[in-house]
Structure 1
Amino acid sequence: MSELVDIFVASVRDGFVQVSAFVAVTVLVFSYVQYKTDGRLVRRLEQNRKAGPLVGALMGLTPGCGGAIVMMPLYVRGSVSFGTVVATLIATAGDSAFVILALAPEAALYAYSIAFVSAVVFGYAVDTVGLGVGRIDRAVSRIGRTVTDGGYVSPPIGSQIHHYEEAQGCEVYDDDLARHSSLLTPLSHVALGAWWIAATVALVAGVLYLLRGAPEVPIVAEPTFAGAFTVFGITGAALSFYLYFVGRHYVGHGHVGRAKDTFANVQETLTHAAMETSFVTVWVIGAYLVYEYGIVFTGIEIQAVAAAAGLLAPIAGALVGLIPGCGPQIVLATAYSQGALPFSALTANAISQDGDALFPLIAIDKKAAVIASIYTTIPALVVGVALHLAFGPLFGFGVLG
C-alpha cells in the first residue's frame, strides 16, 4: 500500500513540475504569436492560395491545436484548398507536443520536422494530382450521406472535395458562457491565481531539476528544493484538476482545447493558458498512473511488448492518431517519454493525429472530416514503417534524464 501511495504522489507531483509548468510557458508564447498573426495570415492566404499547404503545415506545427483550428473555417469558406486542410492536419502537433517538447525535445525536433515535410509534400500532392480523393469521396458517400449540401469549392484547386456553407448554430469556436455562482465563481478565480503561483514556482523547480541532471527527488514537505518540488507540484496538480473539471465553467472556458483562441487582454491570455495546461495535466498524470500501476499489477514491461510488436508498433501509433482529440495522443506521448514506445510509433502518431482541429470540421462536414483523416493516416503508416525498418525501434531516443 505504501508503494502504491508513493507512486500516486510522485506521478501527480512529477506530472505538474516536469511537464505542466513548461507547457504553460509554451502555450503563452504560441498563443500570443498566433493572436498577433491571425488576421494578416488569413488575408495573405486568400490572396495567394498556392501557398495554402505550406502555410497550413506551419499552422499545424504550432504546439496545441489553435493554429490548426484557425484553418478549418477557411476551407469551409473556400479560402483554402482541401490539400491545405490535409497538410494542416498532418502537421498538427496537438497538445501532445507539449509533453514531448518538455520531456524529449530532441525527439520532438525530428518527429515534427518529419511530420512537417510529409504535410507539405502530401498537401501539394492532393491539390495537384488528387491522389484518388474523388474515389474516396464517392466511397464515403456510400457509407453515409453528409449533412450538408454537396457543392464544390469554387474555384477548385486539385481535389474536388466539396465545400459547404457553415453549419447554422455551430458553437464549436465559442467559449461556453461563464456560469455564475456566489461560491464557485470567486473560488474559481482564486484557484486560477493560485494555479499561476504554483506554476511559476514549479517552473523554477523544473529548470533547477534539469540543471542538476534530473536526480531522484524525495517526497518531502520542508523548506528545501525537494520540499518546493513536492508541495507546489502536488498543489498545482490539484488546482489543475479543479480548473479542468469545475473551474472552467465559471471562468468562461468550457470548451477546453476546442474553442477558438481569443486573447483580448492579458487576463484572457493567462486564463486560456491555464485552462489548456490543466487539460494536458489531467491526461499526463492519468498516463503516468496507468503506466506505473500497469507495471506494478501486471509485471509486464510495456517496452518489451512494444519491441516484440515490431512493425505493429508504428502501425498502432498511426491508428491511435485516428482518434479525434488530444487525450489519447498525450497518453501515447507520455508512454514514449517513459521509454515504452519506439520513435517510429511516436512519429507515425505525430503525422496521423488531427487533435482537436478535427472537431470543427466534423461539426460542419462529417464527410470531409472522414476523408481528411484517411489522408493523414496514409503518410503516417508509410513514414512510421519506413523509420522502423531503417533505424530500428529507437526506444528512449531524445528523452531527457
Structure 2
Amino acid sequence: MAGEILDIFLASVRDGYVQVSAFVAVTVLAFSYVQYRTKGALTDRLESNRRYQPLVGAAMGLTPGCGGAIVMMPLYIRGTVSFGTVVATLIATAGDSAFVILALAPEAALYAYGMAFAAAILSGYAIDRFGMGVGYVDSAVSQLQTTATDGGTAASVVGRSSNPAHEYDGETPIHTHESGPDRESRVLTPLSHAIHALWWVAAVAALILGVTYLLRGAPEVPLMVGGSFAGLFTIVGIAGTTLSFYLYLVGRHYIGEGQVGRARESFGSLYSTFQHAAMETSFVTVWVLVAYLLYEYPVAFFEIDIAAVAAAAGVFAPVGGALLGLIPGCGPQIVLAGAYAQGGIPFSALAANAISQDGDALFPLIAIDKKAAIIASIYTTIPALIIGVALHFLWGPVFGLESFGFGVLGG
C-alpha cells in the first residue's frame, strides 16, 4: 500500500510538469512577450474593445492545452475582461485531452471543438448581455437570506455587473501590483535567480518530452530513472515540479512576482518577461499537482472507472461526460478522450465533456476568486448538458454522430 501511494505521488509530480506545465509555460511566455514588445498595448486594446472579448476568450480557450485559457484568467481578476469572457474561455477550453483526440480522432475533434467554440461565443455574449455575472448571482442569493453574500472580488451586490472584478465595494480596482522582491539574501537571492534559469532548462526539456509523448498517443510511461525516454520523462518531470515549488513558495520573495495569478500591464525587460512566465507556470504547477493527487488517489483506492461512468447507457452517457467536466484539471478528460478513441464511449459524451471541461485554467481563478470559479463551472456545464443530450436524441440517429468510434483513425 505504501509503495502504491508513493508511486502515485511521484507519477503525479512527474506528469503534471511534463504533460501540463511545459505547454502552459510556452503559451504564457508567448503572451507575455507580446505584452513586452507592445508595452501593454494588447491588454489595453482588449479592455477597450469589450464587444470582442468573448470571441477572443473563446479563441484562446480553443488552443490545445490549457495555456491560452490560463492567460485569460488573470485578465479577469485584473478587471480587463468580462465574466462572460471567462465563461466563453472555459467552455471553449480544449485542455490536454485535445492532443489525444486530435491525434487519434481528428474528425471527431473538429465536430466536438467546433460545437464548443460556438457554444462558448453564444454563452459569453449572453452572460454579458443579460448581466448574469457574479454580481447577478449575489443579488439573487441576497433575496433568499438576511445578509448578502460577500466573497472573492465580487463584494458589491448592487446591480448586475458582468465583471465583478470592477466592483471592489464600489471602488475602482487597482490595475497594477507590486511584483518586485520583498526580501534580500546573499544566498537565496542569487540561488533563486539560478533556479529560475534552471527551471527554463527543465521546461524546454519537458516540452520536447511532452510533444514526443503526445505524438506516441499518450501511452503509459513507467516510473524509472535513466537515459531512456521513460527515464528522462521521470527525471525532468520530478525536477521541474520541485523547481516550481521552490519558485512559488520561496523564490518569488527574492526575485519578484510575489502576486501570481494577476496580469501584468507590461514588462521592463526580456528577463522579467521570462520570470513572469516562470512564476505563473509554477503557480499553476502547484495547483495541478493538488488536482492530480485528488483525482488519482480516489480512482486507485476506490477502483473508480472514469470511462465506465461516461459510457453509461443511453442519455446518461452525455450527462456523465458533462458532469466529469466539472472536475478541474485534465486528468479525467484525458482518460475519457482515450476511452473514446478506443470506442468505449459515444460521441455525445465526448462533445458534452469538451464543452463542460475547464481544464487547468480554473486553478488560478479558484485560488483568487472561488465564487467566480464555482459559478463559471456551473455555467459551462449547462450548454454541455443541452448539446450532449440533443446530440443523443436528435442528431445522433440522423448523422451517425452517436456512434462509438466516430472519427477515430482506422475506425
TM-score (norm 2): 0.67
2:331 corresponds in structure 1 to 334
Segment drifting more, 307-316 vs 263-272: 307-316
The letter for the 1-side match of 2:41 is G
Deviation of 1:88 after TM superposition, in Å, equals 0.5
- Alignment partner of 1:178 out of 176, 181, 184: 181
Contact 1:61 1:116 in 2 (8 A): yes
Compare 287-296 and 162-171 and name the one that shifted more.
162-171
**Correspondence 1:91 to 2:88:** yes
Query: Are the equivalent residues in 1 in contact too, given 2:75–2:263 (CA < 8 A)?
Result: no
Deviation at 1:294, TM superposition (A): 2.6
Any gaps of 5 or more consecutive residues in structure 1?
Answer: 76-83, 154-158, 321-327
1:234 corresponds in structure 2 to 238
With 58-67 and 187-196 compared, the bigger mean Cα shift is at 58-67
Contact 1:34 1:67 in 2 (8 A): no
Distance in structure 1 (CA, Å) of the matches to 2:109 and 2:118:
14
Q: Is the 8 A contact 1:65 1:93 kept in 2?
A: no
Q: Which runs of 5+ in 2 are unaligned?
A: 340-348
* Alpha-carbon contact 2:196-2:278 (below 8 Å) kept: yes
Counterparts of 1:396 and 1:280, CA distance in 2:
34
Matched-pair contact (CA < 8 Å) for 1:14–1:233:
yes
Distance 1:316 1:209, change over 3 A: closer
Report the Cα offset of residue 278 of structure 1. 1.9
Aligned position for 1:70: 75
Q: What are the equivalent positions in structure 2 for 1:341-380 lying under 5 Å apart?
A: 342-343=349-350, 344-350=352-358, 356=364, 378-380=382-384
Contact 1:53 1:88 in 2 (8 A): yes
Other-structure match for 1:156 = none
Distance 1:192 1:127, change over 3 A: closer
Query: How many residues of Structure 1 are paired with residues of Structure 2 in the alignment?
Result: 370
Name 1:221's counterpart in structure 2.
Answer: 225
Task: Name the counterpart of 2:254.
Answer: 250
Q: 1:5 to 1:317 in 2, by over 3 A?
A: closer
Read off the aligned partner of 1:66 and give its amino acid letter: V
Shift of the alpha carbon at 1:337?
0.8
8 Å CA contact retained: 1:192, 1:271:
yes
Cα RMSD of the aligned pairs, angstroms, is 4.8
- Assess if the C-alpha contact under 8 Å between 1:60 and 1:68 holds in 2: no
The equivalent residue for 1:31 is 32
Moved more, 12-21 or 215-224: 215-224
User: Bigger shift: 388-397 or 261-270?
Assistant: 388-397
Cα 1:42–1:211, aligned 2, differ >3 Å: closer, same or farther?
A: closer
Work out whether residues 150 and 163 of structure 1, in 8 Å CA contact, stay in contact via their aligned partners in 2.
no
Among 289, 298, 313, the residue aligned to 2:302: 298
Name the % identity.
Answer: 46
Q: Which residue of 2 aligns with 1:119?
A: 120
CA contact (8 A) 1:94 1:355 kept: no
Deviations 1:128-158 (A, max 9, x none): 67799999786345255585594799xxxxx
Q: 1:121, CA displacement in angstroms?
A: 2.3
Q: Secondary structure at the match of 1:329?
A: coil
1:313 and 2:320 matched: yes
**TM-score computed with the length of structure 1 as normaliser:** 0.69
Alignment check: 8 A CA contact 1:93 1:112 kept: no
Residues 378 and 293 of structure 1: CA distance in aligned 2, closer, same or farther (over 3 Å): closer
